[in-house]
Structure 1
Amino acid sequence: QDQAMAYGIGGSRYSENKRAVEDKYIGPLIKTIMTRCIHCTRCVRYMTEIAGVEELGLISRGEDAEITTYLEKGIMSEMSANVVDLCPVGALTHRPWAHNARPWELKKTESIDVMDAVGSNIRVDTRGAEVMRILPRNNDAVNEEWISDKTRHVVDGLKTQRLDQPYIRQDGRLVPASWDEALGIVAEKLKAAAPNRIGAIAGGLAGAEEMFALGELMASLGVASIDCRAPHEALRPAAGRASYLFNTTIEGIDAADAILIIGANPRTEAPVLNSRIRRRWRQGGLEVALVGVDQPLTYGVTYIGAGAQSLADIASGAHPFAKVLADAKRPMVIVGAGAYRRPDGAAIMALAAQIAEMARAGSDADAAIFNVLHTDAARVAGLDLGLVPGDNGLDTAAMIAAAGAGKLDLLYLMGVDDIDTGALGDTFVVYQGTHGDRGAHRADVILPGAAYTEKSATYVNTEGRSQFALRAVFPPGDAKEDWTILRALSQRVGKTLAYDTLAQLRARMYKAAPQLARLDHAEATPGAAEAEALAALRSRGGEADQRPFAVAIEDFYLSNAIARASAVMAELSALRVAAERGRSQSAAE
Structure 2
Amino acid sequence: MIQVFIDNQSVKVEKGSTVFQACTKAGVEIPRFCYHERLSIAGNCRMCLVEVEKSPKPVASCAMPVMEGMKIKTNTALVKKAREGVLEFLLINHPLDCPICDQGGECDLQDLTMVYGADTSRFSESKRSVKDKELGPLVKTVMTRCIHCTRCVRFATEIAGVQDLGTVGRGKETEISTYLKKIFDSELSGNVIDLCPVGALTSKPYAFHSRSWEIKSTETIDLSDSLGSNIKVDVRGSSILRILPRLNESINEEWISDKTRFSYDGLQHQRLYHPMIRKNGYLEKVSWQEALQEVLHKLSLYAKESTVAVLGSQVDVESAVVTKEFLTKLGIHQLYFEKHWNAVTGILSSNQLNDHSTKNYLLNQSIPGLEEVDTCLLVGVNPRFEATLVNTRLRKRYLQGNFQMACIGPELNLTYPVKHLGNDINLLLQICEGRHPFSKFLAKTKKSIVILGNHLFRKESSHGIYDLVQEMTKRLPNFNSFNFLHSSAGLTGYLEAGILNDRHVCNQQISNTSKNLLLFSIGSDDLDIPVDSSNCLVYLGHHGDKCASHADIILPCAAFTEKENSTYLTIQGQSQFTKLVFYPPADAKEDWEILQVLSEMNQTALPYQSKKEVQSTIHQMYSPWIYPQGQYKQAKWKDLQEPKWKSWICNDPLSVEVDHLNYYQTDVICRSSMTMAKCIKANFLNSKSKSH
TM-score, normalised to structure 1, is 0.91
Question: Residues 11 and 314 (structure 1 numbering): CA distance in 2 closer, same or farther, change over 3 Å?
Answer: closer
Question: For the Cα contact (< 8 Å) 1:201–1:227, is it kept in 2?
Answer: yes
Question: For the Cα contact (< 8 Å) 2:529–2:547, is it kept in 1?
Answer: yes
The CA deviation at 1:576 is: 1.8
Give the corresponding residue for 2:648.
543
The CA deviation at 1:538 is: 4.2
The CA deviation at 1:388 is: 1.4
Give the corresponding residue for 2:493.
381
Return the match for 2:535 from 397, 421, 427.
Answer: 427
Q: Which amino acid in 1 is paired with 2:385?
A: T
CA distance in 2, matches of 1:574, 1:464: 36
CA distance in 2, matches of 1:567, 1:484: 31
Question: Residues 429 and 178 (structure 1 numbering): CA distance in 2 closer, same or farther, change over 3 Å?
Answer: same
Higher mean displacement: 303-312 or 422-431: 422-431
Question: Residues 503 and 238 (structure 1 numbering): CA distance in 2 closer, same or farther, change over 3 Å?
Answer: closer
Deviations 1:446-476 (A, max 9, x none): 0000111111211101111110111111111
Return the match for 1:521 from 631, 634, 640.
Answer: 631
- Whether 1:500 aligns to 2:609 is yes
CA distance in 2, matches of 1:387, 1:521: 20
The CA deviation at 1:385 is: 1.6
Question: For the Cα contact (< 8 Å) 1:155–1:566, is it kept in 2?
Answer: yes
Q: Which amino acid in 2 is paired with 1:451?
A: A
The CA deviation at 1:391 is: 8.9
- Whether 1:335 aligns to 2:452 is yes
Deviations 1:233-271 (A, max 9, x none): 412423522111111121210110110000001111011
Q: Which amino acid in 2 is paired with 1:432?
A: L
Question: Residues 109 and 12 (structure 1 numbering): CA distance in 2 closer, same or farther, change over 3 Å?
Answer: closer
Q: Aligned runs of 1:155-234 on 2, under 5 Å? A: 155-228=264-337, 230-231=339-340, 232=343, 233-234=346-347
The CA deviation at 1:413 is: 0.4
Deviations 1:500-528 (A, max 9, x none): 111111111221221110312337x55xx
Q: Which amino acid in 2 is paired with 1:504?
A: E
The CA deviation at 1:318 is: 1.7
Give the corresponding residue for 1:79.
188
Give the corresponding residue for 1:555.
662
Question: For the Cα contact (< 8 Å) 1:344–1:542, is it kept in 2?
Answer: no
CA distance in 1, matches of 2:306, 2:484: 33
Q: Aligned runs of 1:84-483 on 2, under 5 Å? A: 84-228=193-337, 230-231=339-340, 232=343, 233-235=346-348, 236=350, 237-239=353-355, 240-358=357-475, 360=476, 363-364=477-478, 367-389=479-501, 393-394=505-506, 398-401=509-512, 404-408=513-517, 410-423=518-531, 426-456=534-564, 457-483=566-592
The CA deviation at 1:381 is: 0.4
Q: Number of residues paired by the alignment?
A: 562
Secondary structure at the counterpart of residue 281 of structure 1 = helix
Deviations 1:176-212 (A, max 9, x none): 1111111110012123433212110100011111111
Q: Which amino acid in 2 is paired with 1:398?
A: Q
Secondary structure at the counterpart of residue 463 of structure 2 = helix
Secondary structure at the counterpart of residue 218 of structure 2 = strand
CA distance in 1, matches of 2:375, 2:453: 17
Q: Which amino acid in 2 is paired with 1:310?
A: L
CA distance in 2, matches of 1:466, 1:412: 27
CA distance in 1, matches of 2:558, 2:456: 32
Q: Which amino acid in 1 is paired with 2:473?
A: A
What RMSD over aligned residues (CA atoms) do the two structures have, in Å? 2.1
> Sequence identity of aligned pairs in percent?
39
Question: Residues 513 and 576 (structure 1 numbering): CA distance in 2 closer, same or farther, change over 3 Å?
Answer: same
CA distance in 2, matches of 1:260, 1:375: 18
Secondary structure at the counterpart of residue 517 of structure 1 = coil
Specify which structure has the bigger relative contact order, considering alpha-carbon pairs within 8 angstroms and separated by 6 or more residues.
1
Question: Residues 95 and 544 (structure 1 numbering): CA distance in 2 closer, same or farther, change over 3 Å?
Answer: same
CA distance in 1, matches of 2:337, 2:308: 11
Q: Which amino acid in 1 is paired with 2:272?
A: L
Question: For the Cα contact (< 8 Å) 1:118–1:142, is it kept in 2?
Answer: yes
Give the corresponding residue for 2:143.
34
Question: For the Cα contact (< 8 Å) 1:466–1:516, is it kept in 2?
Answer: yes
Question: For the Cα contact (< 8 Å) 2:464–2:644, is it kept in 1?
Answer: no
Secondary structure at the counterpart of residue 394 of structure 1 = helix
Deviations 1:385-439 (A, max 9, x none): 22212696338x93345xx33252x110011111222546631110000111011
CA distance in 1, matches of 2:532, 2:312: 16
Higher mean displacement: 78-87 or 543-552: 543-552
Question: Residues 229 and 438 (structure 1 numbering): CA distance in 2 closer, same or farther, change over 3 Å?
Answer: closer
CA distance in 1, matches of 2:617, 2:381: 36
Question: Residues 265 and 392 (structure 1 numbering): CA distance in 2 closer, same or farther, change over 3 Å?
Answer: closer
Q: Which amino acid in 1 is paired with 2:510?
A: M
Question: For the Cα contact (< 8 Å) 2:412–2:418, is it kept in 1?
Answer: no
Q: Which amino acid in 1 is paired with 2:258?
A: D
The runs of 5 or more residues in structure 1 that have no matched partner are 1-9
Question: For the Cα contact (< 8 Å) 1:405–1:425, is it kept in 2?
Answer: no
The CA deviation at 1:313 is: 1.8
Deviations 1:307-339 (A, max 9, x none): 202212211212221122222111100001232
Question: For the Cα contact (< 8 Å) 1:428–1:443, is it kept in 2?
Answer: yes
CA distance in 2, matches of 1:355, 1:390: 24
CA distance in 2, matches of 1:140, 1:69: 31
Secondary structure at the counterpart of residue 347 of structure 2 = coil
Q: Which amino acid in 2 is paired with 1:569?
A: M
Question: Residues 483 and 38 (structure 1 numbering): CA distance in 2 closer, same or farther, change over 3 Å?
Answer: same
The CA deviation at 1:11 is: 9.9
- Whether 1:570 aligns to 2:670 is no
Q: Which amino acid in 1 is paired with 2:186?
A: S
CA distance in 2, matches of 1:325, 1:94: 44
Question: Residues 339 and 72 (structure 1 numbering): CA distance in 2 closer, same or farther, change over 3 Å?
Answer: same
CA distance in 2, matches of 1:325, 1:514: 36
Question: For the Cα contact (< 8 Å) 2:511–2:530, is it kept in 1?
Answer: no
The CA deviation at 1:169 is: 0.5
Q: Which amino acid in 2 is paired with 1:560?
A: D
Question: Residues 96 and 507 (structure 1 numbering): CA distance in 2 closer, same or farther, change over 3 Å?
Answer: same
CA distance in 2, matches of 1:542, 1:386: 28
Q: Which amino acid in 1 is paired with 2:465?
A: I
Question: Residues 542 and 461 (structure 1 numbering): CA distance in 2 closer, same or farther, change over 3 Å?
Answer: farther
Deviations 1:557-583 (A, max 9, x none): 011111000011011112222333344
The CA deviation at 1:537 is: 9.3
Question: For the Cα contact (< 8 Å) 1:42–1:86, is it kept in 2?
Answer: yes
CA distance in 1, matches of 2:156, 2:120: 43
Question: Residues 179 and 573 (structure 1 numbering): CA distance in 2 closer, same or farther, change over 3 Å?
Answer: same
Question: For the Cα contact (< 8 Å) 1:29–1:95, is it kept in 2?
Answer: yes
